[in-house]
């Protein structure tokens, strides 16, 4: 049985969830564990079923057994056996090719059977956990079989995984293809970053705290940094990464989602379109890149061999399915300007990369320096600026650094951190990051999903970079060692403006051999 859930969150609507590519890693690692968590918390209806669709030769019983064996290896917490028994009886499987008309007929029959058995009221949503080249053909086939038709109060929705296009033209074409079958409010373009509590809390933190929002503008903020760093390499994704690269893989989706939530104006409500209107305004306000801007304000890198977590690792060009002379970037850093009243003149620095020194995703709000007047007759020679850091992963939380006097008879200032950690304050929650997103789709809430105009606006910013990088292939790759913080040019990007990247970690030696003093104990004399 599903546990009772006594709060204001309504249970999702009755429905059948159809997973295309159901035999892949995403289903057993994320989707089914997320659904089990929702069931345990009483956020799934009793009237619910899952239909897996893939080319693998499973029966329904074989598919259930495979999931039962695999899920405990990947679930974020111990799997509740009663919940799994409840879920297991609601899982079905259809074998077929994504382009086979007969397979879709079998799929329709299985959906209708599950609908009758579990009384799901004719509602259904389709999760496309497949390669992007299958998005359009699958949706077209669903339309031909009338599986996307909404009538008599029944709803039908489609969740599309990233990447949504590989450039501006392909994104426009994909939007056009989907809208030949679906309406915009049936399309849910998913970004799992937005399932993280801290990302969702950015809006709450900004708009519900009166001490924060008045400072969130060009009058008080010097600059903003957004970092999404990974210690892993491309692993088994070499073939995909060769056609994508770090820019396409991370920037127009993950990093731009963080950017828009950080920079958006207050919406008039948390209605999905009101929030997404404000996010779209940010993307449209990003200053367009000229070819000269691309050369000056973007950095690309590729990792070579190095040391990560005490282990020697190979360079990108030695990874499986990667060309030995590949010019694909595994690191990107950008400087953006947002041309609106709130952010005029405030640079936004973005960076992301593979095989970096530490796994972390964070948003840094660096405030302006206070006047030195008060300290001019003391031994203090410099003043550190206030810094707000929103930690998104692996630990979720918020920290604020500020100056304080070190006890003693001499005027010395120390930099102090005031930290808030989600797990410490609210308790550790075992989550895959997909729970909120799946439930929102079932509830028809598209707030955390991208709209077509947002997707195209993001690619519109990226396209000039793609064009210049295609015309001028990278030289000197690989240009950073695995286990470092990326190429030296990424540091230069900020140092030209008299700024450094935030030093992540306690004490590090940077690429020029300098020792970085730990931020929590740094003393200014």
Strands 515-516 and 91-95: unpaired
Task: Give the β-pairing of 303-304 and 306-308.
Answer: unpaired
* Pick from 442, 423, 448, 390: nearest CA to 192: 448
| Continuous H helices in 298-429 | 422-426
CA angle, corner 176, sides to 25 and 17, nearest 5? Answer: 35
Give the C-alpha separation, 234 to 222, whole Å. Answer: 34
Instruction: Give the residue from 165, 469, 493 showing the smallest Cα distance to 327.
Output: 469
Closest CA to 486 of 311, 229, 258, 259: 229
In terms of Cα–Cα distance, which of 196, 163, 164, 221 is closest to 362? 196
R_g (Cα) of the chain, nearest Å? 25
Listed residue (391, 328, 332, 329) closest to 364, CA to CA: 391
CA dist., res. 133 & res. 160, Å (int): 12
- What is the distance between the alpha carbons of residues 423 and 21, in angstroms, rounded to a whole number? 33
- Catalytic residue flag (residue 192): no
Contacts of 490 (CB under 8 A, 6+ apart): 299, 301, 331, 333, 351, 501
Report the distance separating Cα 8 and Cα 16, nearest Å.
Answer: 24
Which of 118, 223, 254, 391 is catalytic? The answer is 254
Q: Which amino acids are annotated catalytic?
A: 254
């Amino acid at each position: 049985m599903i546990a009772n859930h006594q709060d204001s969150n309504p249970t999702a609507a009755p429905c059948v969830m159809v997973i295309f590519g159901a035999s892949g890693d995403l289903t057993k690692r994320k989707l089914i564990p997320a659904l089990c968590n929702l069931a345990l918390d009483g956020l799934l209806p009793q009237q619910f079923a899952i239909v897996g669709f893939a080319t693998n030769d499973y029966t329904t019983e074989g598919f259930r057994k495979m999931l039962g064996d695999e899920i405990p290896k990947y679930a974020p917490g111990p799997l509740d056996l009663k919940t799994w028994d409840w879920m297991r009886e609601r899982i079905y499987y259809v074998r077929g090719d994504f382009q086979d008309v007969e397979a879709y007929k079998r799929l329709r029959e299985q959906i209708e059977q599950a609908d009758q058995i579990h009384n799901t009221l004719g509602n259904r949503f389709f999760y496309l956990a497949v390669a992007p080249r299958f998005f359009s053909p699958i949706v077209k086939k669903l339309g031909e079989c009338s599986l996307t038709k909404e009538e008599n109060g029944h709803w039908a929705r489609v969740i599309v995984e990233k990447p949504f296009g590989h450039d501006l033209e392909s994104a426009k074409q994909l939007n056009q293809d989907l809208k030949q079958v679906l309406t915009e409010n049936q399309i849910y373009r998913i970004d799992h970053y937005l399932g993280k509590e801290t990302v969702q809390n950015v809006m709450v933190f900004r708009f519900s705290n009166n001490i924060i929002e008045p400072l969130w503008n060009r009058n008080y903020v010097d600059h903003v940094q957004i970092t999404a760093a990974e210690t892993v390499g491309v692993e088994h994704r070499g073939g995909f990464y060769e056609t994508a690269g770090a820019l396409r893989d991370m920037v127009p989706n993950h990093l731009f989602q963080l950017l828009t939530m950080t920079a958006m104006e207050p919406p008039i409500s948390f209605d999905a379109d009101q929030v997404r209107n404000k996010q779209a305004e940010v993307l449209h306000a990003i200053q367009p890149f000229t070819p000269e801007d691309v050369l000056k304000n973007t950095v690309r890198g590729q990792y070579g061999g190095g040391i990560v977590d005490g282990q020697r690792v190979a360079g990108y060009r030695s990874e499986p399915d990667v060309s030995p002379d590949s010019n694909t970037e595994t690191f990107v850093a950008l400087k953006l300007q947002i041309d609106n009243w709130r952010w005029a003149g405030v640079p936004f620095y973005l960076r992301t990369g593979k095989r970096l020194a530490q796994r972390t995703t964070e948003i840094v709000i660096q405030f302006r320096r206070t006047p030195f007047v008060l300290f001019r007759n003391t031994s203090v020679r410099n003043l550190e600026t206030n810094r707000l850091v929103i930690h998104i992963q692996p630990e979720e939380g918020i920290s604020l650094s500020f100056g304080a006097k070190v006890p003693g008879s001499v005027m010395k200032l120390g930099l102090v951190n005031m930290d808030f950690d989600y797990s410490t304050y609210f308790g550790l929650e075992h989550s895959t990051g997909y729970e909120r997103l799946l439930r929102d789709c079932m509830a028809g809430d598209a707030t955390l999903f991208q709209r077509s105009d947002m997707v195209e606006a993001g690619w519109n910013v990226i396209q000039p970079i793609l064009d210049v990088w295609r015309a001028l292939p990278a030289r000197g790759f690989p240009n950073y060692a695995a286990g470092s913080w990326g190429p030296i040019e990424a540091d230069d990007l900020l140092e030209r403006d008299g700024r450094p990247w935030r030093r992540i970690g306690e004490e590090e030696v940077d690429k020029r051999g300098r020792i970085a003093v730990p931020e929590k104990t740094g003393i200014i004399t």
